Structure formats: C-alpha cells, structure tokens
Amino acid sequence: MSLLTTSAGASAITPDDYGPLIVQPVERESVALQVATKLTTDSTTLHIPIVATDAGASFVEEGAEIAPTDAALGELTITPAKIAGLSIVSSELAEDSNPDAQKLVGDGLARSIARVLDQSFFRSLAAPAPKGLASVTGVGVVSAGTAFTNTDPFLQAISQAEEQGATITAFAANPADALALGKLKEGTGSNVPLLGSDATEPTRRTILGVPLYVTSAVTVGTVWGIPRDRVQVVMRRDVRVDVSKDAKFTSDQVAIKATMRVAHAFPHPAAIQKITVGA
C-alpha cells in the first residue's frame, strides 16, 4: 500500500491519512470482502490447488500392506484484474485540514471501488473483469418456488453444503429479496419476523443463525449461500492512491486516483449454494 504525491498542493492527503480514508471504507462497504476469504499475492498470477478426490483410507490388518490411493488434484489459475477510480477535486478541498472535507473525497472513491468489486464477485461481467459467482458451474441449486414462504430452502442449502463437507457462513441477497424475506412472519396472525437478528449488530438479519448480507450486486431472484473457506477474493495488492496536481494545472484542481488488482477464486463450486425464487 502506498501513496504518491506529485505536488505540494496535495500534501494534506498523506500516507497516514489515506488508510482510513479509502482502504478501510472499501473493506467495510464491500460485501465480497466480508463473506469470502481474502488472499493476497505479489505475483501476476496465483495458482490455487483443487482436491477433486481425497486420497483413500480404510481399515487394514496389523502388518498388512496399505494399498496406495492417490488424490485427484486440479488447479485454478487466477490473474487479478485492475479496478480504478478517479476523482477531481479543488486544491482547496485537497489542502483542507478538516477531516470531514477529506472524508468526502475518500468516501466517493471507496463506494465506487466497493460497488464494482461486489458486482464482479456476484455477477458475470465482461472482460477484463474477473469471473464471478454467476459464471461458476457446478454450484448447488435450491428452488424456493415463485415466492419465499418459509426458511426451508435455506435449510436445504445448508444441508447440501454440509454434504460437501462445507458450512454456510453467509447468505447474500438483493435488497428486494431481503425485503421479501424480512416481511415473513413466524406464523399466521403473528407480527414477529421470521428472520432472526444478530445480537452483536442489531441491524443485521440472520437466516437460521447465518448472517444475511444485502447488496444490489446480487441479481434479484437469487440468494447465495457462501462457505467462507471455499470462496476467495484474491488481491494482488491493496488499494493504492496516487495524487497529482499536474493533470489539472490550469484549473487549480487535484486528481486523486485509486486502483486495486483483484480476482475471485471458487475452488469448490459444489459447496456454494444458489437459492432461486420467482417465475
């Protein structure tokens, strides 16, 4: 992580400032970085091993030969792609020592990067974006019918993941589907929501004890069941911020550029669950 400044006019935004200014908000705003395992690499390409079939084991007589069985291994090749955002602000704002003024700059870039990161994670965007969940084949599928009426589809998703030796640690849904789930009640005539709440974060909802994350990056009609240890966000480097006054010299403005290199890895598709609802 580094900050480069090419003019003294932008000196108010320092390396000590930019961490909480942009990096931390990206990690806080991005659902992908909250539901997946974060991997970092210094290499252009990362190779992730896949165990398709474990090596076998069985009971044997004392002193008898142990029959060898090899694991079936595969490999994912992950090449992080670049996300970039550019913000143009006045020199006065860039030089303002008031933290609130600088926060306006950082928040906008952080939201943009987090939004694009989540879209690439949950959807299947065109190149050069990395492939996301929507492009993964072989995931577990659960149909909830034309509308959510109870939590049975989520129970089935949890069970299907368990059959693969995985544990669902998060559900992710579009705001429209989260609203439909939030309106469900425990029973006829009851006003008690069917969804639970997280005691540590009162505004967070849970389904069968599993946190429900809400983001518009998820397509309406789909709820993802994600086991954290089977899904990775691969970052070649964290967010980098470059500040320059040269490009906007004649208008006395400062250009603030934020970039990061990221891709996603799904080495165990069958452990990931896709719950569908609607016509």
Domain of residue 149 covers: 3-50+73-276
Asked if residue 65 belongs to a domain, the reply is no
* CATH code for the domain of 218: 3.90.1690
The letter for the amino acid at 168 is I
Asked if residue 9 belongs to a domain, the reply is yes
Asked if residue 60 belongs to a domain, the reply is no
More confident residue, 30 or 101: 30
pLDDT value for 56: 56
pLDDT value for 3: 37
pLDDT value for 57: 63
pLDDT digits (tens, 9 = 90+) for 141-193: 999 999 999 999 999 999 999 998 899 999 999 999 999 998 888 776 667 77
pLDDT value for 16: 47
Asked if residue 64 belongs to a domain, the reply is no
Rounded to the nearest integer, the mean pLDDT of the chain is: 79
Asked if residue 63 belongs to a domain, the reply is no
DSSP 68: P
pLDDT value for 159: 97
Percent of the chain with pLDDT over 70: 71
Number of neighbours of residue 124 by Cβ within 10 angstroms: 15
The whole-number average pLDDT for the span 238-254 is 71
What is the band of 28 on the pLDDT scale with cuts at 50, 70, 90? confident
pLDDT digits (tens, 9 = 90+) for 37-55: 988 777 777 777 675 555 5
Q: What does the alpha-carbon distance between residue 252 and residue 91 come to, in Å, rounded to a whole number?
A: 6
The whole-number average pLDDT for the span 85-113 is 70
Please, where are the H alpha helices in 149-262?
152-163, 175-182
Q: What does the alpha-carbon distance between residue 70 and residue 76 come to, in Å, rounded to a whole number?
A: 19
Token pair belonging to 88: 């143009």
Asked if residue 59 belongs to a domain, the reply is no
The letter for the amino acid at 76 is L
Token pair belonging to 132: 């996301």
Counting the structural domains of the chain, the total is: 1
Asked if residue 67 belongs to a domain, the reply is no
pLDDT digits (tens, 9 = 90+) for 60-98: 777 777 666 655 567 777 778 888 777 777 776 666 656
Asked if residue 20 belongs to a domain, the reply is yes
